[in-house]
Amino acid sequence: MPQSRSVFEVGQKIFKILNVTDVTDLIDGEIYREKSTLNNDLKNIVINTLPISDGYGVQMQEGIFFVNIFTLDLSNGIPDLESLKTISDAVVEELESFTDATENFSFEILSQDVMNDQVHKLLSYLSLRIQYFIENGRSF
């Protein structure tokens, strides 16, 4: 029977894919799993994984995760779209490069949107909603 993956394994794998200098050099904060620190107005990335499908007895397991990229708004209060685009381009490039290098773990970007942070009023973020597919029974 194929080995099922957990939400923790998937989150850690995505963290490792994105925690590279091509991405981290573009932010002045950190890459976090699930939640960032309070009162943080740095450029940060937060990876949130949603519940994963039960992979027991199936060959392909799938789920959804979000990559949220946070930046401080410009002095006039509008989102820093240039920074959000630059960072998101690097994130997408890393995910696509990883997908091209393996046959058993792939990604598809479903949507993206720029939103105002409701907790930190001086921040905006770009949310990438990404579906992933894992071929069970193989390392990833």
CATH number at residue 122: 3.30.70.1700
Least confident of 25-29, 34-38, 116-120, 134-138: 134-138
Res. 137: pLDDT tops 70: no
Q: How many structural domains is the chain composed of?
A: 1
* Cα dihedral value 37, 11, 23, 86, nearest 10: -80
- Check: CB of residue 134 under 8 Å from CB of residue 62: yes
pTM for this entry = 0.87
DSSP H helices, 19-79, are 21-24
Q: What is the per-residue pLDDT across 7-57, written as a single tens digit (0 to 9) for each?
A: 788 889 899 999 999 999 999 999 999 887 777 889 999 999 887 766 555
Q: Does residue 1 fall inside a structural domain?
A: no
What confidence score (pLDDT) does residue 19 get? 97
- Report how far residue 24's alpha carbon sits from residue 16's, in angstroms, rounded to the nearest whole number: 12
Radius of gyration of the chain (CA): 16
What confidence score (pLDDT) does residue 100 get? 65
